[in-house]
Amino acid sequence: MTATTEVSMGEAAHGHAASAKAATKPAAEAHGQQHPLKLYLVVWALLFVLSTFSYLIDYFDLQGMLRWSLIVLFMLLKAAFIIAIFMHMAWERLALVLAILLPPLALLVFIGLMNFEGDYTNGSRARHFTPATLVSPPAKATAPEPAHE
């Protein structure tokens, strides 16, 4: 046998092995990622339920910290479902997920720190930089004068 015959036989053997591997792959890998339609319908239903809960907060007229905590909770849950399923993050590598999700999370942490620091600075200014002329001494209690008849 010549060298060209051995190469062509080797290529044929490798080509046969590659086609055998392709035949054993699942259909989802052969044609890209395909997920069952049921998964998307279930997530869509969950998003609908979470949106309903968000509207019920206004319907029941919840107020204060409970209202805003529930609104933010439902908002974050909906965002997580959308990112994980509809944006296919659940099936991505951890490095890609972290590269996409960590910068916005870091920004949220920094915004929270700036909010805390801003409240502290505002309170310090109010305590230490109030002009003395605006601070009035406490009013003295005076007894009412007797009525003259």
Residue 49, both tokens: 């339920």
Q: Of all residues in the chain, what percent carry a pLDDT higher than 70?
A: 68
Please give the model's pTM, rounded to 2 decimal places.
0.55
First to last CA, the chain: 140
pLDDT band at residue 17 using 50, 70 and 90 as cut-offs: very low
Q: Tell me the helix, strand and coil percentages in the chain, rounded to 5.
A: 75, 0, 25
Domain ranges of the chain: 33-91, 93-124
SS3 14: helix
Sequence-ordered list of residues with C-beta below 8 angstroms from that of 33, at least 6 positions apart, any chain? 88, 91
Q: What's the mean pLDDT in 104-119?
A: 94
Query: Residues 26-44: what's their mean pLDDT?
Result: 77
Q: How confident is the model at residue 148 (pLDDT cuts 50, 70, 90)?
A: confident
Taking the C-alpha atoms of residue 96 and residue 114, their distance in angstroms, rounded to an integer, is 28
Percent of the chain with pLDDT over 90: 50
Higher per-residue confidence, 1 vs 35? 35
Q: What distances in angstroms separate CA 1 from CA 8, 12, 31, 91, one per listed residue?
A: 11, 15, 39, 49
What confidence score (pLDDT) does residue 5 get?
A: 47
